[in-house]
A and B are shown apart, each in its own frame.
Chain A
Amino acid sequence: MSTNNNQLEVWEVFIQSKSGLPHIHVGSVHASDIKMAMQNARDIYTRRGEGTSIWVVPTLSISASNPLDNEMLFDPSNDKIYRMPTFYVMPEGAQNI
C-alpha cells in the first residue's frame, strides 16, 4: 500500500518562453529523479511551444520569505525615495535627462 501511494518527489518547474526573457514559475511535477522531472515538465508544461528552456528544482530546495515579514523586508525601501529618479529636481529646460 505504501509503495502504491508513493507519489514521488515534487519539483518546481520554471520555463523561459523566449531567449532573452526570464524563466518563470509555471507549476510543479512529481518525479523520482531529475531526468524524469525534466521529461515530465516538458510533457506537461510545453506541449505548444511555450518554452525554449526548462529549469526543474526540488521543491524542498526553495526557501520562500514569510508574508508576515513583509513589513520588515519591504517597507524600508518605501522610506528611501531618493532611490527614485523622480526625487530629483531638474532645472527648467533640461533635456534628455
Chain B
Amino acid sequence: MSLTSNATLETFQERIDQGEYIEPKDVFPDEYRKHLIRQMSQHAHSEVIGMQPEGNWITRAPSLRAKQILLAKIQDEGGHGLYLYSAAETLGISRSEMINQLQTGKAKYSSIFNYPTLNWADIGAIGWLVDGAAIVNQVSLQRTSYGPYSRAMVRICKEESFHQRQGYEIMTKMMRGTNEQQKMAQDAMNRWWWPSLMMFGPHDSNSPNSGNAFKWKIKRESNDVLRQKFIDKTIPQALLIGLTIPDKDYKLNEKTGHYEIGKINWEEFNNVINGNGPCNKQRINHHIKYHNEGAWVREAALAYSKKQK
C-alpha cells in the first residue's frame, strides 16, 4: 500500500531505521515501490537473459558430467528469475508487464550478458567471475529492507555457491591442461575480468540511484565497497591456478591489505548499457521469439483448465 502524507513517511522511515522489514501490505512511499520494482525486475531479467550465453554451450559441453552440471546451473538461473518475479509481483506489478518492459527495452538487465561465450572456458569464467560478482552483491542484499526481496535473496545465495565453484573447477582443470587449454582459459579471463568488475555499477561518486536506496536500506553496501570485496577474493584465486590479471596497474597495497586496480573503461560500460554491446539485439530477439512461440502452450493450458471446470 502506498501513501505519502508526511506522517506516514516519518513512520516508514522510523521502521526502516529500527531495522524492521517492510512487507507487501505495509504503508510505504510510492518512490520506494518504484525503486524496488525497477531493481527487482532488472535483477529477475538478468537471471533469465543470463541463461542464453550459457545455453549456447549445452550441446557442445565436453563431457556428460559437464553437460549435466551446465543444465542444472541454467535451470537454477531460470528458477532465480522466477523467485524474483514472484517477489516483485507482491508490489502490484504483473509478470506480463515486467516481460513487456524487458522486451520493449524499458527495463534493463545486467549488461554482462550482452557479451558472447566464445569458447568452453567462457562457461568457467561466467560461473567463477560473473556468478562470483553476483554473489558478493546478493549476500549484501539478503539484508535489504523489503521482506519478499530479502527472502528471495537468501534462497538464491544458498544456490549460487555451486555455480561459482563449478566455474572455478572448469578454470582450474583447463589451467592444468594442455597449452591450448591454458590459452583458452586466459583468453576467457581477459574478456570477462573487466565486465565482471563493471557489474557492480558506476563508482560511488557517480551513482545516481544510491541516495534513497541507502536511506531506505534497499541497498546496504556501496558499489565500490562491494567491488573491492570481489577483487580481494578473486585475485588470489586467479593467481593460485596460474591466471594472469589482465590489468598492468593492479597491485597489492601492503598497508591496507587490499588490491588496487587500474582504471575501469566506463565508456565501454555505457556503450553496452545503451544497447551497443556485442549481443544486445540477439538477446532480446531470442527472448521475444521464444515467448511468442510458447503462446500456444499457454492457450492450450487455459483451454484445458476451462474444460475441466
Residues of B near A28 (CB, < 8 A) are 86, 89
List which A1-25 residues lie within 8 A (CB) of chain B.
3-8, 10
A93 at the interface (CB under 8 A from B): no
Inter-subunit contact A67/B301 (CB<8 Å) = no
Contact A67 B87, CB 8 Å, known A6-B96, A26-B155, A33-B308: no
The DSSP consensus for interface residues of chain B is helix
Contact A6 B25, CB 8 Å, known A27-B86, A29-B82, A33-B304: no
Q: Give the docked Cα–Cα distance between A16 and B97 (Å).
A: 32
Q: Which 4 A-B pairs have the closest CB atoms?
A: A32-B301, A7-B95, A5-B96, A33-B305
Q: Give the docked Cα–Cα distance between A5 and B99 (Å).
A: 9
Q: Give the docked Cα–Cα distance between A64 and B23 (Å).
A: 12
Inter-subunit contact A32/B305 (CB<8 Å) = yes
Chain B interface residue count, CB cutoff 8 Å, equals 34
Nearest B residue to A25 by beta-carbon distance? B151
List which A42-76 residues lie within 8 A (CB) of chain B.
43-44, 47-48, 64, 66-68
Which positions in B face A, CB cutoff 8 Å? 1, 23, 25-27, 72, 75-76, 79, 82-83, 86-87, 89, 94-96, 99-100, 148, 151-152, 155, 159, 291-292, 295, 298-299, 301-302, 304-305, 308
A81 at the interface (CB under 8 A from B): no
* Distance from B2 Cβ to chain A, minimum over Cβ atoms (Å): 13
- Give the residue of B75, B159, B301 whose beta carbon is less than 8 angstroms from that of A33: B301
Inter-subunit contact A27/B87 (CB<8 Å) = yes
Q: Give the docked Cα–Cα distance between A66 and B1 (Å).
A: 10
